[in-house]
Amino acid sequence: MEKIKAALIGSGNIGTDLMYKALRSRWIEPKWMVGIDPDSDGLAKAREKGLSTTAGGVDGLLPHLKRDGIRIAFDATSAYVHPENARKLAAQGVVVIDLTPAAIGPYCVPSVNLAEHVGKREMNVNMVSCGGQATIPIVAAVARVQPVAYAEIVATVSSRSAGPGTRKNIDEFTRTTASGIEKVGGAKRGKAIIILNPAEPPLIMRDTVHCLTEGEPDQARIRASIEAMIAEVQKYVPGYTLKNGPVFDGKRVSTYLEVAGLGDYLPRYAGNLDIMTAAALRTGELIAEEMSAGTFNATARAS
């Protein structure tokens, strides 16, 4: 069976890590990597792997879309650049998986709501944020047991794993993640906090999830639900680990997690890359599967 061809927009930490994962995919074949700096490490790595590259941004890719049969693009640029990229690609009928916190399209957190995206033929799907991918499953695991009045997450990532896009988009990170906690996680109100830690050697991504339940927490059912959810996330990020908790303190339910990556591009500490890229790839594969089966027929849209 022929794989669906894809382009990777953005040659930074996330785009490059995604390339390594996509090269192993059964459904997707990465053909292009798009950057803006001809000397970027990501573009060099892509050329090594036989991808076509351009340093001309998305405009450098557009003339090649039809010829190379690109049907899916993963955008790992920044929240500021994404809307324009998305517009240009959608006009050519390319489905865009958005790894920036721009959040134009509906959110996808695969372990929670991948199935909801089946058959929707969405032209733009958003991956929330690395912190969102790591924590929203836990919020959802609690919320499927009983109502969650408030959920708050703290994502701590090593400074080395946070590239310039992430740093410029820190407000978008907190806003988009908080919104994802509500819309996908199911909490009535969400809050997100991100912390960069420059320690050497770099720390493994850590995530804390605090949920405040409406009634007294049903401890046994919440514990079982969280364990099941962690197993689900581990299917695409094996280094997703429960370190402590759930701790029950009145109506507070706190879960302490660590996310180690596969070390495809940055070393294993940068689990924040993996949780994002693995989730995006899984989402892309779902769409690719539908495309292969002929149930996803994207049409060019002018907007």
Partner 1 sequence: MNLKGRKITLHDMCLRDGMHPKRHQISIKQMVDVATGLDAAGVPLIEVTHGDGLGGASVNYGFPAHTDEEYLRAVIPKLKRAKVSALLLPGIGTVEHLKLAHDCGVGTVRVATHCTEADVSEQHISNSRKLGLDTVGFLMMAHMIEPEGLAQQGKLMESYGANCIYCTDSAGYMLPADVTARIGALKAVLKPETEIGFHGHHNMAMGIANSLAAVEAGAKRIDGSAAGLGAGAGNTPLEVFNAVCARMGIETGVDVFKLMDVAEDLVVPMMDEPIRIDRDSLILGYAGVYSSFLLFAKRAGAKYGVPSSDILVELGRMKTVGGQEDMIEDLALNMSRDRKRA
Contacts with partner 1 by CB under 8 A lie at: 150, 152, 154, 156, 159, 164, 167-168, 170-171, 173-175, 191, 193-199, 203, 206, 208, 210, 212, 243-245, 247, 252, 254, 256
* Of 141 and 288, CB closest to partner 1: 141
Whole-number Å distance between alpha carbons of 78 and 81: 5
* Of 69 and 164, CB closest to partner 1: 164
Task: Report residue 193 as tokens.
Answer: 């906090």
Which segments of 79-180 are extended strands (E)? 95-98, 124-126, 148-158
Q: How far is CA 62 from CA 4, 70, 77, 187, in A?
A: 17, 10, 16, 40
CB 240 within 8 A of CB 257: yes
* Of 36 and 193, CB closest to partner 1: 193
Rounded to the nearest whole angstrom, what is the least distance from the CB of residue 212 to partner 1 in the complex? Answer: 7
CB 187 within 8 A of CB 145: no
Rounded to the nearest whole angstrom, what is the least distance from the CB of residue 235 to partner 1 in the complex? Answer: 25
DSSP 79: T
Rounded to the nearest whole angstrom, what is the least distance from the CB of residue 103 to partner 1 in the complex? Answer: 15
* Of 209 and 291, CB closest to partner 1: 209
How many residues in the chain?
303
Q: Give me the catalytic one of 18, 81, 130, 140.
A: 130
Rounded to the nearest whole angstrom, what is the least distance from the CB of residue 171 to partner 1 in the complex? Answer: 4
Rounded to the nearest whole angstrom, what is the least distance from the CB of residue 197 to partner 1 in the complex? Answer: 5
Q: Is 130 a catalytic residue?
A: yes
- CB atoms under 10 Å from CB of 279, counted, come to 27
Whole-number Å distance between alpha carbons of 231 and 226: 9
- CB atoms under 10 Å from CB of 120, counted, come to 12
Residue in 178, 170, 161 with CA at minimum distance from that of residue 276: 161
* Of 91 and 195, CB closest to partner 1: 195
Catalytic residues: 130
